[in-house]
Amino acid sequence: MQISLYNKLEDIPIDKEQWRKLLARNTTRSVFQSYAWTHNWWEQFGNNYTLFFLVAQNNDGQVSGLAPLMLDESRTLRFIADKNSDYLDFIIPDDRSEILSAFFKKIREQQHDWLMIELNNIRRCSDLLDHVKRICNSSNMYFWRNGTIDAPSLIIDGNEKHTERLLKKYSTRRAEKQFSRQGEISFTVFRSREQAAPYWKAFFTQHIDRCGSVNRGSSFIQPAFRRFARELFEQTLEEHTVHFSVLELNGKPIAFHYGFISENRLVWYKPCFDTKIKKGSPGLLLIKRLIEHCVDNKLQELDFTIGAEAFKDRFCSIRRRVDSARIYKSRTRYFTECILHMMWDAVKHTLRKLFPGTNQRKADSTRN
Of 161, 158, 108, the closest CA to residue 132 belongs to 108
Instruction: Report the SS3 class of residue 312.
Output: helix
Do the domains spanning 2-150+321-367 and 157-299 agree at the CATH topology level? yes
Per-residue pLDDT of the chain (368 residues; tens, 9 = 90+): 999 999 999 999 999 999 999 999 999 999 999 999 999 999 999 999 999 999 999 988 899 999 999 999 999 999 999 999 999 999 999 999 999 999 999 999 999 999 999 999 999 999 999 999 999 999 889 999 988 999 999 999 999 999 999 999 888 888 899 999 999 999 999 999 999 999 999 999 999 999 998 888 999 999 999 999 999 999 999 989 999 999 999 999 999 999 999 989 999 999 999 999 877 899 999 999 999 999 999 999 999 999 878 888 889 999 999 999 999 988 888 888 888 878 877 887 788 777 765 444 443 343 56
Report the pLDDT value the prediction gives residue 363, as an integer from 0 to 100. 39
Look at residue 365 in the predicted model and tell me its pLDDT: 40
Q: Taking the CA atoms of 270, 33, 43 and 197 in sequence, report the sign of the dihedral they define.
A: negative
Q: Would you say how long the chain is, in residues?
A: 368
Backbone CA torsion sign across 293, 157, 363, 311: positive
What does DSSP say about strands 318-328 and 142-155: parallel, antiparallel, or unpaired? antiparallel
Report CA dihedral (58, 133, 33, 116) to the nearest 10 degrees.
Answer: -100
- pTM here is 0.90
Cα angle value 117/121/126 (rounded, 5°): 95
Q: What is the pLDDT of residue 171?
A: 84
Q: What is the dihedral sign for C-alpha 59, 109, 51, 84? A: positive
Other C-beta atoms closer than 10 Å to the C-beta of 85 total: 22
pLDDT of residue 17: 95
Cβ contacts of 326 within 8 Å, gap of 6 or more: 116, 117, 118, 119, 143, 144, 146, 337
DSSP E strand stretches across 44-141: 50-57, 63-71, 76-79, 116-123
Instruction: Give CA 133 to chain center in angstroms.
Output: 23
Of 25, 105, 115, residue with least CA distance to 64: 25
> What whole-number distance in Å separates Cα of residue 192 and Cα of residue 94?
37
**Fold topology of 157-299:** Aminopeptidase (3.40.630)
Each domain of the chain, given as residue ranges in start order, spans 2-150+321-367, 157-299
Q: Which amino acid is at 183?
A: G
Judged by phi (left if over 0) then psi (alpha if -120 to 50, else beta), residue 104 lies in alpha
Give the CATH architecture of domain 2-150+321-367.
3-Layer(aba) Sandwich (3.40)
